[in-house]
Amino acid sequence: MKRREILSGLAAATALTACGNNQNNTTTQPSTEQFNWRMVTTWLPNFPGLGTGVNTLVRYIRELSQGRLNISVYGAGELVPAFEVFDTVAQGAVEMGHGAAYYWRGKTEATQFFATIPFGMTAHEMNAWMYYGDGLDLWHELYSEFNLIGFPAGNTGVQMGGWFNKEINSIDDLRGLKMRIPGIGGEVLRRAGGTPINLPQSEIYTALQTGSIDATEWVGPYNDLAAGLHDAAQYYYYPGWHEPGTTLECMINLDAWLSLPPDLRSIVMIACQAANLDMMSEFNARNANALSTLMNQEGIDVRPFPQEVMARLKSITNEVINELATEDERVEKVWNSYRAFQSEARSWQEVSEQAYMESTEE
């Protein structure tokens, strides 16, 4: 009953949030009840872009609710380890969490499509799928199985391909490579001959510096500079084929969500949407300056992946996803919606933003 209630109620509420159209809704008097919640995250406390984006989200919620919903934030390791966020929120030990859905592939491979997949949709396309396609409904349906509900609450945009302590000139250079890379991208690397390793943010720098891993992806120049990864690797490759538009999530325990009055639920959804826009804007603003610093002040060698490597990784990606869809009907359902939307959206991008960028190149 709880699952049916949340799914049916969210269809109307999500449409309201996405479209801003409330002409058919009656006005209700807000409740005066106050809520004090806790949020655990997969990010280090106050880390630029990611951790500070969480702070922005909870500030929006507090201010919009006029202090009726206050949320205390705990970074990775402060209350629970980074990779225990999903279970902690699902079990109701805390009310909210913030992270990236591909971290929970152990629950079901389908979670990854609500973060990012290799050679998948960009941030703009992901938002379109979420708010005006089937994305958000499919996400809610999937997470309800785990007593959760998820909302987009940030996006990094296209990421960098990662930091390497060896040159990547051909697909053979990936053989034997130990690389920190999560999600489907990790499985693609494995099939290309590498060894994927999933590490939380707090362990990446040390692992790269000590040689426990040969390479790592993290986010992009803004975050990578702040993490000091340029001190542990020489080569910085692009583009981030594995994460072309990483959606970050605000997950909420369903029992806690259902305990909120309708106006506070709307405030949370609107705050998540605002935080989603804010983070994407910040990364766009900060990455260019950080990349300039890495190249001109730190002397980092920034290189594109060879086309041969990109083509082979894309081919392996298709193999991996098609296999997952064959083995798991939840993946199949999400993948069918995802690729259909991506195909339609890409046809527009080719004659709009992509065409514009190409026509203005000097």
pLDDT at position 7 is 52
Q: What is the CATH number of the domain that holds 120?
A: 3.40.190.170
Give percent of the chain with pLDDT exceeding 90: 90
Structural domain range at position 74: 2-19+34-155+247-284
Is residue 60 situated within a structural domain?
yes
pLDDT at position 5 is 53
Q: Which residues have a Cβ under 8 Å from the Cβ of 44 and sit 6 or more positions away?
A: 51, 75, 76, 77, 201, 202
Classify burial at 87, counting beta carbons within 10 Å of its beta carbon; exposed 0-12, middle 13-18, buried 19 or more: middle
C-alpha 124, offset from chain centre: 13
Is residue 328 situated within a structural domain?
no
Is residue 329 situated within a structural domain?
no
How many C-beta neighbours within 10 Å does residue 4 have? 9
**Mean pLDDT score across all residues of the chain:** 93
Q: Judge whether residue 28 has pLDDT over 90.
A: no
Q: What is the rounded CA–CA span in Å between residue 85 and residue 91?
A: 10
Locate 27 and state its tokens: 């006005």
311-353 pLDDT, tens digit per residue, is 999 999 999 999 999 999 999 999 999 999 999 999 999 999 9
Is residue 200 situated within a structural domain?
no
Q: What are the respective helix, strand and coil percentages of the chain, to the nearest 5?
A: 55, 15, 30
pLDDT at position 1 is 47
As a whole number, mean pLDDT of residues 98-106 equals 96
Total structural domains in the chain? 1
Is residue 325 situated within a structural domain?
no
As a whole number, mean pLDDT of residues 86-107 equals 97
Q: Which residues have a Cβ under 8 Å from the Cβ of 168 and sit 6 or more positions away?
A: 174, 235, 237, 303, 305, 306, 309
As a whole number, mean pLDDT of residues 14-32 equals 50
How many C-beta neighbours within 10 Å does residue 21 have? 10
Q: Judge whether residue 32 has pLDDT over 70.
A: yes
Angle (nearest 5°) at CA 249 between 86 and 240: 110
pLDDT at position 25 is 46
Q: What is the rounded CA–CA span in Å between residue 39 and residue 349?
A: 37
Is residue 221 situated within a structural domain?
no
Contact 71/26 with Cβ under 8 angstroms?
no
Q: Is 242 helix (H, G, I), strand (E, B) or coil?
A: coil
Is residue 74 situated within a structural domain?
yes
pLDDT at position 150 is 98
Strand (E) positions, the chain? 35-41, 69-74, 96-99, 148-155, 162-164, 178-180, 195-197, 215-216, 235-238, 247-253, 301-304
Angle (nearest 5°) at CA 144 between 91 and 117: 100
198-247 pLDDT, tens digit per residue, is 999 999 999 999 999 999 999 999 999 999 999 999 999 999 999 999 99
Is residue 213 situated within a structural domain?
no
Q: Is 148 helix (H, G, I), strand (E, B) or coil?
A: strand
- In the sheet with 247-253, reading across from the earlier edge strand, the strands are 69-74, 35-41, 96-99, 247-253, 148-155
pLDDT at position 17 is 43
Q: What is the length of the chain?
A: 362
How many C-beta neighbours within 10 Å does residue 318 have? 13
266-322 pLDDT, tens digit per residue, is 999 999 999 999 999 999 999 999 999 999 999 999 999 999 999 999 999 999 999
Confidence of residue 6 (pLDDT cuts 50, 70, 90): low
Locate 149 and state its tokens: 């509900």
Question: What is the Cα gyration radius of the chain?
Answer: 20
pLDDT at position 21 is 39
pLDDT at position 361 is 80
